[in-house]
Amino acid sequence: MMGAPGPDARRVYTFTMPLDGHLHVVEAYFCVPEGLFRLQSSPTSPTQYDPWARQMMASRDEESLSLPQRVRISDAMLKRKLWEIGEQVLRGKVGSEVDAELAQRLGQRVMQPIHPARELRLRGKGLSALEMSRSKHRVRAFLHTTPQLELKQKWLERGDSALIKSEGQTSAFGLAVQEWIGQWGLAAIDELLLDSAWFYDAIGDYEAAATFLGLLEVADPLAREAGIADFATQVLVTEYS
């Protein structure tokens, strides 16, 4: 199962795995800046897990009642997330709530599998950042606790002048957002966008899915990063205005 993407690029996955001859339920929690923030497991059984999983998928998201608390994931998505666990371990991007032994077992080095969102059939049109922001849950993954403190302060200090451009150059606020996006890292952003596209397609919000995939269409990394920074800038302008 997958939870709705949330603040700090939060993505939570819950799945079962046989470990040491017993069935375990595993939770993998990814976010920024930690990477793999939490990875824990506990023994379970089909009679325990199945009704609990059905209840989770029938419940509503705690932060936005318009979203389910969990959606079912495909085998392809699970393979991708196991690969991501390995990537985070390799990079040393693990939090204090990660079971190190479990991370080593689940995150064995394998060839990077194609993200299933890459194979989605687009069934909606892409939206602007302003249109996306009208449903705040769609863009909340772009709200990060630590960077937002500085970005909001810059916004408050400059007021509307934060958006003034000079001779076609990016605004002061836009430059600050670009710096934050660069620190976040394009690979991590791409993974968030793919996960978000997959989640929103799964719940039938095809316009949101198309929007996230649209941000990934630009092949050139620098141009793609610039487009994502512009999208994030517009999201934050809406958030702070």
Please check whether residue 33 lies inside any domain of the structure: yes
Question: Of 21-25, 53-57, 146-150, where does mean pLDDT reach its minimum?
Answer: 146-150
Same domain (yes/no): 64, 129: no
Averaged pLDDT, 134-158: 90
Please check whether residue 6 lies inside any domain of the structure: no
Number of domain units in the chain: 2
Please check whether residue 128 lies inside any domain of the structure: yes
pLDDT tens digits, 194-226: 999 999 999 999 999 999 999 999 999 999 999
- Point out the domain boundary residue: 113, 145, 160: 113
Same domain (yes/no): 102, 125: no
Same domain (yes/no): 37, 86: yes
pLDDT at 170: 63
- Point out the domain boundary residue: 113, 132, 161: 113
Same domain (yes/no): 127, 207: yes
pLDDT at 240: 87
pLDDT at 155: 81
pLDDT at 159: 58
Q: Give yes or no for residue 124 having a pLDDT over 90.
A: yes
Please check whether residue 22 lies inside any domain of the structure: yes
Averaged pLDDT, 110-134: 94
Averaged pLDDT, 108-121: 90
Please check whether residue 137 lies inside any domain of the structure: yes
Please check whether residue 194 lies inside any domain of the structure: yes
Averaged pLDDT, 73-99: 95
Q: Give yes or no for residue 235 having a pLDDT over 60.
A: yes
Same domain (yes/no): 55, 148: no
User: What pLDDT band is residue 231 in, cutting at 50, 70 and 90?
Assistant: very high
Q: Give yes or no for residue 59 having a pLDDT over 80.
A: yes
Please check whether residue 235 lies inside any domain of the structure: yes
* Mean pLDDT of the residues in the chain: 92
Please check whether residue 38 lies inside any domain of the structure: yes
Same domain (yes/no): 70, 174: no
Same domain (yes/no): 144, 229: yes
Q: Give yes or no for residue 16 having a pLDDT over 90.
A: yes
Q: Residue 211 sits in which domain range? A: 121-240
pLDDT at 241: 83
Same domain (yes/no): 126, 229: yes
Spell out the SS3 assignment of the chain.
CECCCECCCEEEEEEEEEECCEEEEEEEEEECCCEEEEEEEEECCHHHHHHHHHHHHHCECCCCCCCECCECCCHHHHHHHHHHHHHHHHHCCEEEEECHHHHHHHCCCCCCCCCHHHHCCCCCCCCCHHHHHCCHHHCHHHCCHHHHHHHHHHHHHHHHHHHCCCCCCCCHHHHHHHHHHHHHCHHHHHHHHHHHHHHHHHCCCHHHHHHHHHCCCCCCHHHHHHHHHHHHHHHHHHHHC
Same domain (yes/no): 158, 70: no
Q: Give yes or no for residue 140 having a pLDDT over 60.
A: yes
Averaged pLDDT, 169-189: 88
Q: Give yes or no for residue 162 having a pLDDT over 80.
A: no
- Point out the domain boundary residue: 80, 113, 146: 113
Closest-CA residue to 120 (of 52, 217, 39, 29): 217
Same domain (yes/no): 174, 105: no
Same domain (yes/no): 127, 109: no
Same domain (yes/no): 141, 222: yes
| 161 or 185: which leads in pLDDT | 185
User: What pLDDT band is residue 85 in, cutting at 50, 70 and 90?
Assistant: very high
pLDDT at 116: 97
pLDDT at 232: 96
